[in-house]
Copies of this chain bind each other. A is one copy, B any other.
Amino acid sequence: MKLDIAVLSGDGIGPEVTAQAVKVLEAIAHRFDHVFTFKEALIGGVAIDQTGNPLPDETLQICLNADATLFGCIGTPTYDHNPTAVIRPEKGLLKLRKELGLYANIRPVIAYENLINKSPLKREVIKGTDILIYRELSSGIYYGEKKVNEDATKASDLCEYSRAEIERVAHLAFKAAQKRRKKLTLVDKANILETSRLWRKVVKEISHDYKDVTLNLLYVDNTAVQIIVNPRQFDVILTENMFGNIISDEACVIVGSIGLLASASIGDTNCMFEPIHGSYSQATNKGIANPIASILSAAMLLEHFGLIKEAYAIKIAINKSLELKLTTPDLNPNNPLSTQKVGDFIYDYILNPEDSNINF
């Protein structure tokens, strides 16, 4: 297969972890005889510094022309300490999601046996957890009208949803549930919000098209408790943008390290893959950032194009690195490998699955 991939590595640890993901994709291309081409482009703080724009037109064009975008992370201390700045890295990301029509953000949350002891949660609570979260990504309070009056005595944010915006992501989530354990939980605050009541109405209607899937309804406050107390009860979770931001980050604690979680953002014509961690500026260029989340994003990219055994080869290699504790300091504080060495191991293991573990 031929794939043109836009690479937006962004700020902080973005470039170093994304470089490992690109390298791993090159190994896959080599072993499975594909042609992947990579085109780098600016986004976030680094784009502001170089062009004054967190999402330069050229970057957007490159992404629109590519088959897929591999994204690193954005955010720099300058902007994090000054969230009221008018030009901000986040604006680039929000605009990119909107322009690429990425309306579904998909995050798998799996309790890996090799990592289960890293979680702050007890083993017996999380063992066997396998959740797939569908977060609506291009509407809601993120994109509604924002107001602040001149003397800063009043501000507002509007949360808006249309039926069509709910339908398209809901169909994706139901289809995913059909291929899994056939349970979908809609997370909302329908006892308070009109938008949540619209979500319930539309999702209930759509559920008639997916009779094999059981629909559950859960308030967001209760979900925040249930996902910790009894995570195994969940199969697919569907929710709106802001609740999805909070709940899917919370769910990270099940996996044990935020350095291991990847996500796919999907639309009708474009797609983007990224680690869910932030830019972790303090760690920049120290070789301590965990590249696995970024490498897993590359695996999700392959899955999206039906390259299932290729994605599997990456996961096998990651698993091997976890099993042999060939990992960065977040997972292996006493005897860590560098970001690049972890990437090298996974690269080698993909090319020589049998014997590459003897290199370390």
Residues of B within 8 A of A125 (CB): 120
Say yes or no: is A29 at the interface (Cβ < 8 Å to chain B). no
Stretch in contact with the other chain, from A64-72, A101-109, A177-185, A192-200 = A192-200
Closest approach, in angstroms, between the C-beta of A210 and any C-beta of chain B?
20
* Apart from A155-B197, A220-B245: 18 A-B pairs, beta carbons within 8 A: A83-B190, A83-B200, A84-B200, A88-B191, A90-B192, A144-B156, A147-B194, A148-B197, A152-B201, A156-B194, A157-B158, A157-B195, A189-B242, A221-B245, A224-B249, A225-B249, A225-B250, A243-B246
Q: Say how many copies of this protein the assembly contains.
A: 2
Which residues does A use to contact B, with CB under 8 Å? Answer: 80, 83-84, 88, 90, 94, 120-122, 125, 141-142, 144, 146-148, 152-164, 189-198, 200-201, 220-222, 224-225, 228-229, 242-243, 245-247, 249-250, 252-253, 258
CB neighbours (8 Å) of A195 from chain B are 155-157
Is B156 within 8 A of A158, CB to CB? yes
User: Complex: how many Å from CA A75 to CA B161?
Assistant: 27
Q: Are B194 and A155 in contact (CB under 8 A)?
A: yes
With a cutoff of 8 Å between Cβ atoms, the chain B residues found around residue A84 in the complex are: 190, 197, 200-201
Question: Which of A157, A197, A252 has the most chain B CB atoms closer than 10 A to its own CB?
Answer: A157
Contact partners of A258 in chain B: CB under 8 A: 225
Q: What is the distance, in angstroms, from A125's C-beta to the closest C-beta of chain B?
A: 4
